Structure 1
Amino acid sequence: MKRRSFLQQTALAGASLLTASGVHAAATPHYPEHLPVAEKPFNLNYAFHDGMFKNHGGNDIIDQIKFGYDHGFRSIEDNGMMKRAAEQQKKIGDTLQKLGMSMGVFVITSDNWHWNTTLTTGKQEWIDKMLNDCKTAVEVAKRCGARWMTVVPGNFDRSLPFDYQTANVITALRKASAILEPHGLVMVLEMLSDNPDLFLRHSAQAYMICKAVNSPSCKMLFDMYHMQRNEGDIINNLNKSWDEIGYLQIGDNPGRKEPGTGEMNYRNIFKHIHSKGFKGILGMEHGNFQQGKEGELALIRAYREADSFL
Structure 2
Amino acid sequence: MKRSDFIKNGAALLGSTVLLNNQTMANEQLTKNATNATFKLDYAPHQGMFSATAGKNFLDEIKYMYDLGFRSIEDNGMPGRSVEDQTKVGELLAKLGMRMGVFVVPKGGNGANTLAAGKKEHVDIFLNGIRQSIEIAKRVNAKWITVVPGDYQRNLPIGVQTANVIEGLKRGAELLEPHGVTMVLEPLSDTPDLFLRYTDQTYEICKAVGSPSCKILYDAYHQQKNEGNLINLMNLCWSEIAYVQVGDNPGRREPTTGEINYKNVFKWLKEKGYTGIVGMEHGMSKSGVEGEKALVAAYREVDNF
Is TM-score (shorter-chain normalized) higher than 0.5?
yes
| Separation of aligned partners in 1, 2:142 and 2:31 | 31
| Separation of aligned partners in 1, 2:109 and 2:293 | 36
Query: Are positions 1:42 and 2:39 aligned together?
Result: yes
Contact 1:118/1:155 (CA < 8 Å) preserved in 2?
Answer: yes
Q: Which amino acid aligns with 1:229?
A: K
Residues 57-78 of structure 1, C-alpha deviation per residue, up to 9 Å, x if partnerless? 1111111101110010000000
Structure 2 vs 1, CA of residues 166 and 24 (structure 1 numbering), >3 Å: closer, same or farther? Answer: farther
Residues 241-281 of structure 1, C-alpha deviation per residue, up to 9 Å, x if partnerless? 11000100010000000000000100000000000110100
- Match of 1:256, SS state, is coil
| Separation of aligned partners in 1, 2:158 and 2:108 | 23
In structure 1, which of residues 80, 84, 90 is the aligned counterpart of residue 81 of structure 2? 84
Query: Are positions 1:64 and 2:71 aligned together?
Result: no
Q: Which residue of structure 1 aligns with residue 104 of structure 2?
A: 107
- Match of 2:156, SS state, is coil
Structure 2 vs 1, CA of residues 209 and 113 (structure 1 numbering), >3 Å: closer, same or farther? Answer: closer
Q: Which residue of structure 2 aligns with residue 122 of structure 1?
A: 118
Structure 1 residues 191-206: aligned runs within 5 Å: 191-206=187-202
Q: Which residue of structure 1 aligns with residue 156 of structure 2?
A: 160
| Separation of aligned partners in 2, 1:115 and 1:285 | 21
Q: Between Structure 1 and Structure 2, whose CA radius of gyration is higher?
A: 2
Q: How many residues align?
A: 279
| Separation of aligned partners in 1, 2:108 and 2:172 | 17
| Separation of aligned partners in 2, 1:93 and 1:301 | 28
In structure 2, which of residues 228, 232, 235 is the aligned counterpart of residue 232 of structure 1? 228
- Match of 1:290, SS state, is coil
In structure 1, which of residues 30, 49, 52 is the aligned counterpart of residue 49 of structure 2? 52
Query: Are positions 1:26 and 2:33 aligned together?
Result: yes
Contact 1:119/1:169 (CA < 8 Å) preserved in 2?
Answer: yes
Give the TM-score of the pair, scaled to structure 2.
0.89
Q: CA deviation at 1:113?
A: 4.7
Q: Which amino acid aligns with 1:273?
A: L
Q: CA deviation at 1:203?
A: 0.3
In the alignment, structure 1 segments of 5+ residues that lack a partner are 1-14, 17-22, 28-37
Q: CA deviation at 1:25?
A: 3.3
Q: CA deviation at 1:24?
A: 4.6
| Separation of aligned partners in 1, 2:127 and 2:113 | 17
Q: CA deviation at 1:118?
A: 1.2
Q: CA deviation at 1:115?
A: 3.3
- Match of 1:188, SS state, is strand
| Separation of aligned partners in 1, 2:169 and 2:248 | 30
Give the TM-score of the pair, scaled to structure 1.
0.87
- Match of 2:110, SS state, is helix
- Match of 1:55, SS state, is helix
Runs of 4+ in 1 over 6 A off after TM superposition: none
Residues 176-198 of structure 1, C-alpha deviation per residue, up to 9 Å, x if partnerless? 00000000000000000000000
Q: Which amino acid aligns with 2:261?
A: N
Contact 1:117/1:156 (CA < 8 Å) preserved in 2?
Answer: no
Contact 2:108/2:130 (CA < 8 Å) preserved in 1?
Answer: no
- Match of 1:141, SS state, is helix
Q: CA deviation at 1:111?
A: 4.1
- Match of 1:62, SS state, is helix
| Separation of aligned partners in 2, 1:246 and 1:25 | 33
Indicate the percent of aligned positions where both proteins have the same amino acid. Answer: 55
**Bigger CA drift: 201-210 or 49-58?**
49-58
Structure 2 vs 1, CA of residues 226 and 278 (structure 1 numbering), >3 Å: closer, same or farther? Answer: same
Structure 1 residues 1-310: aligned runs within 5 Å: 24-26=31-33, 39-108=36-105, 110-111=106-107, 113-309=109-305
In the alignment, structure 2 segments of 5+ residues that lack a partner are 1-26
| Separation of aligned partners in 2, 1:85 and 1:63 | 17
Q: CA deviation at 1:114?
A: 1.9
Residues 205-226 of structure 1, C-alpha deviation per residue, up to 9 Å, x if partnerless? 0000000000000000000000
